[in-house]
Chain A
């Protein structure tokens, strides 16, 4: 589904991704771990088409050159990011926002748009996944939401938009254990044969709930190690020390 080859990205002449190689197949869940500043979030940003990066290398998604597409075209192609810091949009109702998003995607795909009633029943059904109170739909997008509510709102959007390829950027950060469980259950319910997921996280904790097929370790803009879910456990014990020369030198631990 997704083939990343020698992907490099720099911003203001500072290279952040330094040759990332990664391949995801449909149905797989990959986790990317790594210390702060290793380039995990940059990878997510580049994949959804955030402006401002100088890029080289290639990203092939479903046979298309992903990097050539605008952010909204990528969304239409099925790419979704659960943002690390979902932004507030004052005055724009959450329900309206999600319906506009879904209908934009459907329109671009040549599918029929959902009317308000149909959308409401879809939203109600999906809200159960993330145990979300219906009143959230009447509030402005993310405005005044707690950290946990914002993350749940991201997963709700994912369940409504049904992407083929979903990236979860530190969805666990700032969540207490109950919220983490709710979010993880929501994500697990969305695992399917046709869908690939890239779960970016700092902590092994999330991977107890969302068990990945593969785990990659990112450091200094590269994937330095890959393995199965046991790699995460190993990292929990040893930290990231020893994975890259420079980290070993300064002795940075998780």
Chain B
């Protein structure tokens, strides 16, 4: 067990973490390749060497790390949580994809029931239930079938690590071009330690014929939390990308600090949809994911368009502002969001739209639902620079409260530096009507079904932006997440 690397049947540290997984019975034995807890330049060198990375990437990581150590963790967000001990995290823990897959019978019945409710197929269940090895095996094989088909039209869709090996020039050109390593505390951290993620490249003029989809998986107790996704849409191309996130239940809070960068060149369009269902913690607020993510798109070219659609039902704390930098003239940025906080969940989320080019347009539609003791904050920035002549923004933030113990807050920031900009902001807060509930129940619709119907109605504007299957999944997720929040 000599430092810094350990390849063995479970070190003590990992055992401690993995024990938590055992109690849910996913896996009986794990073979894991880990580095010790904590963060240092040595650890970063080690991660980089394990991934066989080129020198420039290591240098980039180290620059990010050296910058990160000078930073102080920000505390301005609305959510409250205990300080994170960054030396108590394992930054690299790869499962070896050869072990037996744990059977579904071993999965916690509650979790299994949840998947049943979600209507996810058995194959999918195995992929999602946190059986890490299986997840990796499955997602690789899925990725491969896509890859061959897509390669024929020039689309590259692979893991980030693979892209570093096979398309280093593209990665080098665009990595950090939208979210620089100095962007913020968590982006710096991610830049130093990111382990994997997805990479998509759509060549000029190609309309990607299928939805590209990745299920993000948090595997062992501390891995896969620093993904990095990079999507590049060349001139006149189009891509729709979906990400789904799930995580097994654990008592310990886990930090998830991902970075997503999108680049759309002239006339290109990127549609990015997320259904985020990381473990939200239990009813008392124990456990759950800290989802501190930086997502940004650069609408670099003329007439380019980037849309974010997100349905956030999971995570103990969600802290993110997917945004678009509207650099190209006539470019368009969109943000459609449903954020649900139930139990003791907290969310401080919204969007940033930075208008630089002429006649740029942005739309923000945010639907926040609070139930239980959930606290939901919309925070958004509309920034119209001097050069953004004729820019327009429309923002609509609606909050829905279910019960007495939850809260909703709206914090819009608007900064307009030219006379020709137009900004509209609409906000509403409503309580789920006793009257609406009674009306449904009087017609025979059971209470929980009625709540879910009313909430889904409230979110319809956003759901209709999601690809069909995702919309169905999102609705089911909302229903599951709301369970027990009435009555």
Contact = CB atoms under 8 A, between A and B. Distances in A.
Contacts of A72: 441-442, 444-447
B443 A101 contact: yes
A157 B457 contact: no
A89 B457 contact: yes
Interface string B430-473: 00011110111111111101000110111111000000000000
A12 B235 CA distance: 67
Interface residues of B, number: 23
Interface stretch (A29-37, A90-98, A243-251): A90-98
A20 B439 CA distance: 25
A214 interface: no
A10 interface: no
A87 B437 CA distance: 10
Contacts of B454: 89, 92
Contact of B442 (A48, A97, A102): A48
Given A51-B434, A92-B453, A101 B445 contact: yes
A76 B436 CA distance: 18
B443 A86 contact: no
B441 A70 contact: yes
Chain B interface, >50% SS class: helix
B436 A89 contact: yes
Given A100-B449, A100-B453, A83 B443 contact: no
Contacts of A105: 443-444
A92 B457 contact: yes
Contact of B443 (A50, A90, A161): A161
Contacts of A101: 440, 443-445
B436 A75 contact: no
B442 A81 contact: yes
A80 B436 CA distance: 15
A159 B29 CA distance: 62
Contact of A75 (B433, B435, B443): B443
A90 B441 contact: no
A90 B459 CA distance: 9
A27 interface: no
A104 interface: yes
Contacts of B457: 89-92, 140
Contacts, number: 75
A72 B444 CA distance: 4
A83 B438 CA distance: 11
Given A72-B444, A80-B442, A91 B460 contact: yes
B436 A87 contact: yes
Interface string A72-84: 1011100011010
A49 B458 CA distance: 26
Nearest to B450: A72
Contacts of B446: 72, 104
A71 B450 CA distance: 12
B441 A75 contact: yes
A91 to B, nearest CB: 3
B439 A89 contact: yes
A77 to B, nearest CB: 10
A81 to B, nearest CB: 6
Interface string B257-270: 00000000000000
B441 A71 contact: yes
A108 interface: yes
A50 B444 contact: no
Nearest to B443: A101
Interface string A19-52: 0000000000000000000000000000011110
A46 B265 CA distance: 63
A91 B442 contact: no
A58 to B, nearest CB: 21
Q: What are the 7 closest A-B residue pairs judged by CB atoms, nearest first?
A: A91-B457, A75-B444, A92-B457, A101-B443, A91-B460, A71-B441, A105-B444
29 contacts: A49-B441, A50-B438, A51-B434, A71-B441, A71-B442, A72-B441, A72-B444, A72-B445, A72-B447, A74-B442, A80-B442, A81-B442, A87-B436, A87-B439, A89-B439, A89-B453, A89-B457, A91-B456, A91-B457, A97-B453, A100-B445, A101-B444, A101-B445, A104-B444, A104-B445, A104-B446, A105-B443, A108-B444, A157-B443
